[in-house]
Chains A and B, each alone.
Chain A
Amino acid sequence: MKYTFTLLTALAFAVGLNAQTSIPDIQIQTIDFATFKTSEINNDGKPFIINFWATWCAPCKAELNAINDEWPDWEETGVKIYAVSIDNSRSVNSVQPYVYGQDWPFEVLLDVNSEFRRAMNVNNVPHVFLFDGEGNLVNQHTAYNPGDEEELLELVKKLAAGESIK
């Protein structure tokens, strides 16, 4: 067992701690329960966001609703938001009524057994990943304090204007 650890540690030093720049290919579902491959996540050269949330997570909903309230400002940047629900089979049936009820303009995906969440190394929700138009991960944050969405919007605007934010 401990040899595996040695091996992986050596490997880590060998390749350097590269930042995660590509999205793992995991099969999850759309809000209509159709198959969706996460490798298809993109926004035709424009920036996009992957936001992990759940119907039982109050700060998650607060963040996405705050973005929804000011959606016209976001929309004009051309950004696309993938809202990945980690609700398991207990509460996954509540996702569709909630999302339609709130009239969210996001692309909502279902990760019922947290496979995509694990592949993206998400500890807790909410967790937000911001990618540039080329699909490079340029920023991420966990937890939500009201106002965080405005900082995120500023970053999105910079990316949309072709500026680097790394």
Chain B
Amino acid sequence: MQFFKGLVALVCLASTFPVLNAQNVDLSNVDLGSIHGNFDMNAQYYRKDSLIGAPDVPEQVLFNGFLNLNYTRGNFRAGLRYESYQNAMLGYSPEYKGNGIPYRYAGYKIGAFDFTAGNFYEQFGNGFALRTYFEPTLGVDNSIDGFRATYSDHGITIKTLIGTMRNYFTQSEGIVRGADMNFQLNDMVKSLADNPTKIQFGGAVTSRYQEDKNPDLILPENVMVLDGRFKISRKGFSIYSEYAYKYNDPSADNGYLYGNGQALEAGVGYAQRGFGINFTAHTLVNMAYRADRNNGSQFVEEYISYVPALTKPHSYLLMSTLYPYATQLQNEMAFQVDAVYKFKRNSLLGGKYGTTVFANFSWAQGLDTTNLDPENDPTRQGYTVNMFKPSASLFSPGDSSGLWHDFNVTITHKFSKEFSLKLTYQNLYYNIDILQGKPEYRGQNIKANVAVLEGKYRVTKTQTIRAEAQILLTEQHDGDWLAFVAEYTISPHWSFSILDQYNYGNKVPEKQIHYFTTAVGYTKKASRIMLSYGRQREGLFCVGGICRVVPASNGIKLTLSSTF
């Protein structure tokens, strides 16, 4: 330890050497590399508000913040992230506590090779076999701490990695190992370079080692996932598929059952000028795969695999945070169709600037499973499953067995350089019992219709007013909602907004509450400061298909972020 301290001191001293000499030596032409980074800080002062169920926060003020520093010089790179939670804001895991440097790395690129030591993020294919990523707004960081080597040249990419996974300020008990290969045929074969048909295929293998300490069961210490995929495209047409197979992985997520896991996804798309359509479908069973088999946490912790939800991430308040979808990793069948059509400029429906229509339909359902009698199930499979048969039919979900559908259409039209309108309609079917774990609503699946009208008016070259009116109609759960948003912006620095969500249709009169928030933001180049005040409704906050529960709160929030 003493030696290590000494070494660090020596390196620190050596690294300041150029500064000491800076007065005498002209360093303007010497490449000293560059330091860059970003930071993000959020602080909230909480007020007690028993009406909306906002809990009492003993600290009164909670704080989340991080700073990334990245150093690059030629082919060398190194960096770290300092994180601070004083204490973690509501909605984040309380495991985020105190300060630390949970992310640091050094790497070097030499020709087609690239090496990283320390923490890194990686994705194999769609993520079925492995995806590590950083999403601070969701409190997700499952970076791997270890070694990674990659090779990439002439259409061939090979990645290998090993390490443990971050779990807040500790590391996973399991060790993750993986390799991935991807072949881009057109870059590999010279004669295919200009061929309009583009072909790529690849495969991955990941494995987790974790010691078996279970006194009752004999658990597999090495659990492997195999993955294969291809993608072919030609002049706007594309077709792709990916398949993953997980060997038996008894875990807290699946009740320590020994069945294998599988995921199969396939998609086809066509796009040309002014028109695009895409269809994607998948079916999966038992695909929760974590770096610690004993972790069954409701938070997104230590996941090695990532299976994306096949639903559209909405951005309007009443469509995004009340009833969002999350992939059901134990078993799910789902599909989504996404289409865009633009009526040309100067046509009857297009007007001067064109009219665009977006349509989207997604559907998801559990799989047809049959539970096995434990006495006749010596290998602890738990159930049998038909991966190609949903547990309920497509358009008649019937009583309470349906899981999800979402049909939505948006029409946008720009009337003039100053004025544009956007109209959105959504029809939603939502199993709140399963998707939000609220058994008290069993048999009361939500059937909702939502309409949103958004208008934008440019007052001057730099000043714009934008307003949204939203309505959600449903007989179930909390009943009908209204929402209004008004925003006034002065380019390039200022934005002012007010928004109100009103649960006017709640059957309990005391719960017919207004959630009113006002905010002001100031942006200068790559820095932004935002101050908001008001009520935050309890709900699910989602980014890119991962959601976190945000509890109700009331107070003042300050956000600061910058890139340098």
Do A and B bind?
Answer: yes
Residues of A bordering B, CB below 8 Å: 1-8, 10-22, 24-25, 27, 32-35, 54-58, 62, 69, 87-91, 93-94, 96-103, 112-115, 118-124, 127, 139-143, 145-148, 150-151
Cβ B563 vs Cβ A127 within 8 A = yes
List of A residues within 8 angstroms of B121 by Cβ: 113-115, 118
- Tell me the complex Cα distance, A136–B200, Å: 34
Within 8 A of A (CB), among B165-203: 184, 186-187, 198, 200
User: Shortest Cβ distance from B275 into chain A, in angstroms?
Assistant: 6
In the complex formed, the residue of A with least CB distance to B495 is: A145
What sequence of 0s and 1s flags, for each residue 112-155 of chain B, a beta carbon within 8 Å of any chain A beta carbon? 00000000011100110001011000000000000000001001
Complex CA–CA separation, A150 to B463 (angstroms) = 12
A99 to chain B, nearest CB (A): 8
Task: Kindly list the 9 A-B residue pairs having the minimum CB-CB distance in the complex, ordered from nearest.
Answer: A101-B340, A97-B276, A147-B491, A90-B308, A90-B545, A100-B271, A18-B34, A146-B464, A145-B489
CA distance A5 to B37 in the complex (A): 14
Q: Which residue of A lies closest to B352 (CB)?
A: A69
Which residues does chain B contribute within 8 Å of A8, judged by CB atoms? 69, 71, 78-80, 104
Contacts of A102 in B (CB 8 A): 340, 342, 356
Contacts of B16 in A (CB 8 A): 10, 13-14
C-alpha gap A12/B306 in the complex (Å)? 36
Please indicate the chain A residues that have their CB under 8 angstroms from the CB of B466 in the complex: 146
Closest chain B residue to A18, Cβ basis: B34
Q: Which residues of A contact B414 (CB under 8 A)?
A: 69
Residues of B within 8 Å of A6, CB to CB, are 8, 12
CB neighbours of A123 from chain B (8 A): 38, 40, 561-563
Could you jot down 29 A-B contacts, CB within 8 Å? A1-B100, A1-B101, A4-B104, A6-B12, A12-B71, A14-B32, A15-B32, A33-B198, A35-B155, A35-B157, A35-B184, A90-B309, A90-B313, A91-B545, A100-B236, A100-B273, A100-B276, A101-B340, A103-B273, A103-B274, A103-B342, A115-B121, A143-B495, A143-B523, A146-B456, A147-B458, A147-B490, A147-B492, A150-B462
Complex interface: chain B residues within 8 A of A27 (CB): 152, 157
**Additional A-B contacts beyond A56-B314, A118-B134, A145-B492 (6; CB < 8 A):** A3-B5, A5-B101, A14-B15, A18-B33, A101-B358, A145-B490
B36 adjacent to A56 (CB under 8 Å):
no
Contacting residues, chain B, for A115 (C-beta < 8 A)? 121
Query: Does B461 sit at the interface, judged by CB under 8 A?
Result: yes
CB of B523 within 8 A of CB of A141, answer yes
- Report yes or no: B544 in contact with A90, Cβ–Cβ below 8 A: yes
| B526 / chain A contacts, CB cutoff of 8 Å | 127, 140-142
Residue of B nearest to A96 (CB): B271
Interface hits, B345-371 → A, CB 8 Å: 353, 356, 358
Chain B 398-414 per-residue mask, 1 if CB under 8 angstroms from chain A, else 0: 00000000000000001
A99: chain B residues within 8 A (beta carbon): 271, 276
- Which residues of B does A touch, CB under 8 Å? 4-5, 8, 11-12, 15-19, 32-38, 40, 68-73, 77-80, 82, 100-101, 104, 109, 121-123, 126-127, 131, 133-134, 152, 155, 157, 184, 186-187, 198, 200, 231, 233, 236, 238, 240, 267, 269, 271-278, 280, 306, 308-310, 312-315, 338-342, 353, 356, 358, 414, 456, 458, 461-464, 466, 489-495, 521, 523, 525-528, 544-545, 561-564
Q: How far is the CA of A15 from the CA of B15 in the complex (A)?
A: 8
Query: Contact at A145–B464, with CB atoms within 8 Å?
Result: yes
**Nearest CB to that of A12 among chain B residues?**
B35
Q: Is A88 a contact partner of B308 (Cβ separation < 8 A)?
A: yes
Complex Cα spacing A21 to B34, Å: 8
A13 to B315, CA, bound (A): 42
Partner of A142, one of B68, B134, B353, B528: B528
Q: Given the known A-B contacts A32-B198, A118-B121, are A145 and B494 also in contact in the complex, defined by CB atoms under 8 Å? A: yes
Hey, which chain A residues are within 8 Å of B123, CB to CB? 89, 112-113
* A20-B34, A96-B271, A101-B275 known; A88+B236 contact, CB < 8 A: no
Q: Contacts A14-B17, A145-B495; is A96 near B313 (CB within 8 Å)? A: no
List residues of chain B with CB within 8 A of the CB of A62: 456
Chain A residues with CB under 8 Å of B79's CB are: 8
Given A3-B5, A94-B338, the answer on whether A34 and B198 have CB atoms closer than 8 Å is: yes
Inter-chain CA distance A8–B77, complex, in Å, is: 12
| Bound: A21/B72 CA distance, A | 11
- Tell me the minimal C-beta distance from A7 to chain B in angstroms: 6
Q: Which residues of A contact B34 (CB under 8 A)?
A: 15, 18-22
Contacting pair A97 B278 (CB below 8 A) = yes
A35 touches B278 (CB 8 A): no
Contacts of B82 in A (CB 8 A): 5
Which residues on B sit within 8 Å (CB–CB) of A55?
313
Nearest CB on A from B374, distance (A): 36
Contacting residues, chain A, for B276 (C-beta < 8 A): 96-101
Q: Are A87 and B18 in contact (CB under 8 A)?
A: no
By beta carbon, the residue of chain A nearest B186 is A34
Smallest CB separation, A146 vs chain B (Å): 4
Which listed residue, A17, A89, A93, A141, touches B564 by the CB 8 Å rule?
A17
Task: Please indicate the chain B residues that have their CB under 8 angstroms from the CB of A119 in the complex.
Answer: 70
Q: In the complex, A135→B101 CA distance in Å?
A: 33
- Measured CB to CB, the closest approach of chain A to B18, in angstroms, equals 5
Our pick among B18, B356, B544 for the contact of A14 (Cβ within 8 Å) is B18
